[in-house]
Structure 1
Amino acid sequence: MRDLSKDHELLSLNTATVRKQWRLDTIIDECARRGIRAIAPWRDQVAAVGLDVIARQLRDTGIGLSGYCRGGFFPAPDAAGLAAALEDNRRAVDEAKTLDAPCLVLVVGSLPGALQGKPAYTDIARARNEVRDGIAAALEYARAVGMPLAIEPLHPMQAAERACINTLEHALDLCDELDPGRSGMLGVAVDVYHVWWDPKLHQQIRRAGEDRLLAYHVCDWLAPTRDLLNDRGMMGDGVVELKTIRREMEAAGYAGLCEVEIFSEDWWSRPGGDVLDTCIQRHRSVV
């Protein structure tokens, strides 16, 4: 198991962690000042500054990516919506390639319209079929440009509106179906917030192996959790056995970065510099 205590070379910052405090260009500069060598930016944050501007800034600062957020949201109520979702995913692949990301993270979607409180249908089996078909089509394009796709299973509490793939086992079943040769072009993003509870987690991490483990996201699960989306904990403040999970990831062959991703009204209300400094300290001590 790698020793993180001496430095933060293996730390990446998912830029959602300080999205309320700073624009993406400022986040990059603040990371560079602290020796954080990688980030995982979100598409809306990139668009707000400009794709070419961000690509140039990353080159100038020497900061790389641990992933790009996000593709997915494949289900739709009709053929036109399915086609639009696929086209948007192709654009996301192109953006990830421009930024030299190691993978595009997929939050696959579920019942279309549910996020707005008006689901177009309630057949989750249909949504899962549309997700499978959407990933298959996106993968064909991603292969052509050399951009791996990482399916991120989300906690079952978000099964209706954000992702109908809710376990690592389900995500890996799709990987095996759509990429049986384990080409390295389709894998998973393991986010501890979403999978820490799963009794099959360690078994499925071992099943995934090096060629499927494309990204690793860390935060903590607070007890009690006050909000299903925006109450993630800073590492060490909750109940997740972070070192145990990382030990399993690395034993299975994962050698990538540990990406801090915290959606939290609490941490968003604090000065951005304090948040980054705390991320560094906790990364060294508890991740």
Structure 2
Amino acid sequence: AQGIAEIPIFSGFEYRLIVWAILTLIGILFVVRYAKKLDKGLVKPLIGEKELEAEGIQMVPLTASRKFVLIFFLLSLIFVMVGAIKFDWYIPEICALFISLGVLSCIANGSSMDESVNAFYDGAKAMLPAAIIIAISKSILVLATDGRIIDTMLYHTAGAVKDLPETISIQLMFIIQGFINFFIPSGSGQAAITMPIMTPLADLIGISRQTSVLAYQLGDGLFNLIIPTSGVTMGVLAIGDIPFDKWIKWIWKLMIISVLVSFVLLALPVSLFEWT
């Protein structure tokens, strides 16, 4: 988004770090408060009366082979971060890395070929529902993009924002980014489509490009938590066996708080200081 907005990459990092810390702290406090209420029996579990069962769980010793597996796992995380930042790795490269991790883990653990294949089969079977949900979510993006639905929405919403006060305009740009996020859950895809319009719009209104990028980041990041088109969110919910409607009933309060706080955080660089 910063590249499209023609501002230095990683510039404005200090204020973004403050924004991240505030919103992360809000999320932590929200979860801790819920956990305390759950522990005291003041609220019902998110998945109803279903409880985690300890039956069948076995404590296993941390042998040398298992230590090697953990080391391989930690190294793979480092490789992912370095590869994504320095070498533009994406899904194909990361998938290849984790397949290699699986093979090395089986070798280090001393697993036979049959045991390794069965473990892969069980893991793939558990992930299949999430993969199907992700594929369905992706289809919505294809329809919205190929049907030029997103271009039409951006054109009309940008026209409505340009005549409003600066503070209201940047807050509406944030909401617009969140709305567009429903159709384009991909962060890079959303930046490529929206920022060429939002950048000159910010110049026209008198808002810094840094602030318009922050509006994109918040709209993309926060709303990913509640949109059914997000492959990550729907995939994690499927793995956790959490129905989407129950997730929304639990997360909506945190979303409202986060959106209101985001309004304030976006208004500050517009009204109190110049953020370039």
Tell me the TM-score normalised to structure 2 length: 0.27
Instruction: Compare relative contact order (CA 8 Å, sep 6+) and give the higher one, 1 or 2.
Output: 2
Compare the two structures and name the one with the higher helix fraction.
2
Tell me the TM-score normalised to structure 1 length: 0.26
Which of the pair has more CA radius of gyration?
2
Compare the two structures and name the one with the higher strand fraction.
1
